[in-house]
């Protein structure tokens, strides 16, 4: 069968789908009528130079950024006990995943009528293999985990793969746009693949499904959608230097607190990464030089994942820092008090990557 993916050039610039966000409609206000099915690409959009499109499809959602973090699922979503997201959905996450940082492109394609997700994902898989790449994980229907019917909108149920790949809180676009409508739509016949293009240093996520009719998507009901993310991995350009013991002491003396950004954890984990060691050493040095100082070790998070679950996570992270300072650097445990505050004290907007990055921190607060 002839492949419907024209030759692809996969180059990545960070794209964050603006089409993903869904703004709520105020009570009593009629929802705006969605635009008709498109007959041309979204203005200003373009295929990734590394990977093309399914023949005859149109771009309905597009965003691009030079550097972004992305968690690529390499296994099915599994229930995380006792944790919920921002919208009170039961949290689901893959146990196997690859944390990526790089130039990122995210696109939403509306596929021609009468084409199935099976055909679409199969064509992408063929093209990836043609380029010397390999498929790392595939799933369909219930085997993908999470709620098999939900888009990225709604609360009080089970988290879906759409919610994991395209968090509603992380994106923004008009509520009645085609891209936003397709993302929040109820869906069926979902299929997903994660792949690697080693020769290009890139990873690819392809999620395809058929849209079910709804108040927003009546004109699009029965159509197939392909949501494609491409990340060209590269080492993060570091513009931060390790804060010194003297700088920490100065900040505490002048402000009573010091914000620390050189302590690292994997997503939703509380185990300190080795890259944290230089900063921990400077914190320990400052405490050793000021032997009477007692501090709160305060863990802060962004708002992705829900306040309650992040409260518990931030507390565990604060405890991990305390344990490291006590066990490795022999700081007295009676001088350190771990506190987790979730997303209660942001320093930036949680609507942007930059703001969320600023909010994820540890603070030392003088007692």
In order, the DSSP letters of 184-213 are HS-EEEEEEEEEEEGGGTEEEEEEEEEEPP
Band of residue 265 on the pLDDT scale cut at 50, 70, 90: confident
* Closest CA relative to residue 53, chosen from 228, 230, 232: 228
Average pLDDT over residues 276-298: 95
C-alpha pair distances (Å), 47 with each of 41, 126, 147, 200, 309: 10, 18, 29, 16, 37
pLDDT at 337 over 50: yes
Backbone φ/ψ region at 145: left (φ over 0), alpha (ψ -120 to 50), beta: left
Q: Across all residues in the chain, what is the average pLDDT?
A: 84
What pLDDT shows up at residue 333? 96
pLDDT per residue as tens digits for the range 164-209? 998 776 666 677 788 888 888 889 999 999 999 998 899 999 999 9
What pLDDT shows up at residue 361? 93
Band of residue 23 on the pLDDT scale cut at 50, 70, 90: very low
Domain boundaries, the chain: 18-233, 245-366
Q: How far is residue 175's CA from residue 171's CA, in Å, rounded to a whole number?
A: 11
Q: Which residues pair with 364 in a beta bridge?
A: 258, 297
Contacts for 281 with CB less than 8 Å, ≥ 6 apart:
329
Backbone φ/ψ region at 308: left (φ over 0), alpha (ψ -120 to 50), beta: alpha
Contacts for 78 with CB less than 8 Å, ≥ 6 apart:
92, 93, 94, 95, 145
In order, the DSSP letters of 344-356 are SS-SS-TTSHHHH
- Picking from 2-6, 82-86, 130-134, 246-250, which range would have the lowest pLDDT averaged per residue? 2-6
HSE-up (13 A, CA, CB side) for residue 61: 33
E strand or H helix at 66: strand 58-73
- Picking from 159-173, 297-311, 318-332, 348-362, which range would have the lowest pLDDT averaged per residue? 159-173
Task: Look up residue 10 and give its two tokens.
Answer: 């996969």
What pLDDT shows up at residue 275? 82
Q: How far is residue 70's CA from residue 63's CA, in Å, rounded to a whole number?
A: 14
Whole-structure pTM value: 0.62
Second CATH level (architecture) for the domain 245-366: 2-Layer Sandwich (3.30)
More confident residue, 327 or 178: 327
Average pLDDT over residues 359-364: 94
More confident residue, 9 or 346: 346
pLDDT at 263 over 60: yes
pLDDT at 30 over 70: no
What pLDDT shows up at residue 241? 59
Residue 271 buriedness (CB in 10 A; 0-12 / 13-18 / 19+) = exposed
pLDDT at 91 over 80: yes
Q: How far is residue 167's CA from residue 153's CA, in Å, rounded to a whole number?
A: 9
Average pLDDT over residues 287-311: 92
Task: Look up residue 116 and give its two tokens.
Answer: 């199935």
pLDDT at 15 over 50: no
Percent of the chain's residues with pLDDT above 90: 56
Average pLDDT over residues 267-278: 83
CB distance 42 to 161 below 8 Å:
no
Q: Which residues pair with 61 in a beta bridge?
A: 108
More confident residue, 17 or 156: 156
pLDDT at 142 over 90: yes
What pLDDT shows up at residue 16? 37
What pLDDT shows up at residue 367? 94
């Amino acid at each position: 069968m002839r492949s419907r993916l024209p030759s692809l050039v996969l180059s990545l610039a960070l794209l964050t789908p603006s089409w993903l966000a869904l703004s709520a409609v105020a009570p009593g206000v009629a929802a705006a009528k969605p635009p008709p099915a498109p007959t041309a690409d979204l203005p200003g959009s373009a295929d990734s130079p590394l990977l093309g499109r399914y023949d005859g499809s149109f771009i309905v959602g597009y965003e691009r950024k030079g550097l972004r973090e992305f968690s690529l699922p390499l296994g099915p979503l599994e229930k995380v006990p006792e944790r919920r997201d921002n919208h009170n959905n039961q949290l689901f996450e893959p146990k196997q995943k690859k944390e990526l940082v790089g130039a990122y492109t995210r696109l939403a394609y509306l596929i021609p009528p009468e084409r199935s997700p099976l055909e679409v994902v199969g064509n992408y898989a063929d093209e990836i293999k043609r380029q010397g790449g390999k498929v790392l994980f595939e799933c369909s229907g219930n085997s993908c985990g999470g709620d098999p019917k939900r888009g990225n909108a709604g609360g009080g149920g089970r988290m879906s793969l759409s919610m994991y790949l395209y968090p509603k809180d992380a994106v923004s676009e008009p509520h009645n746009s085609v891209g936003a409508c397709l993302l929040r739509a109820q869906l069926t016949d979902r299929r997903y693949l994660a792949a690697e293009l080693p020769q290009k240093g890139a990873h690819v996520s392809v999620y395809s499904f058929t849209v079910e009719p709804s108040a927003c998507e009546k004109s699009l009901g029965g159509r197939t959608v392909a949501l494609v993310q491409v990340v060209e991995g590269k080492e993060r350009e570091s513009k931060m230097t390790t804060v010194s013991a003297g700088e920490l002491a100065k900040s505490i003396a002048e402000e009573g607190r010091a914000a620390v950004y050189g302590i690292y954890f994997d997503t939703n984990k509380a185990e300190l990464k080795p890259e944290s060691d230089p900063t921990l050493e400077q914190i320990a040095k400052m405490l050793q030089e000021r032997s009477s100082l007692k501090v709160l070790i305060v863990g802060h998070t962004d708002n992705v994942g829900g306040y309650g679950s992040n409260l518990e996570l931030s507390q565990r992270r604060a405890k991990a820092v305390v344990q490291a300072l006590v066990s490795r650097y022999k700081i007295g445990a009676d001088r350190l008090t771990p506190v987790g505050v979730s997303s209660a004290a942001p320093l930036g907007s949680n609507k942007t990557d930059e703001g969320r990055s600023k909010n994820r921190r540890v603070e030392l607060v003088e007692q």
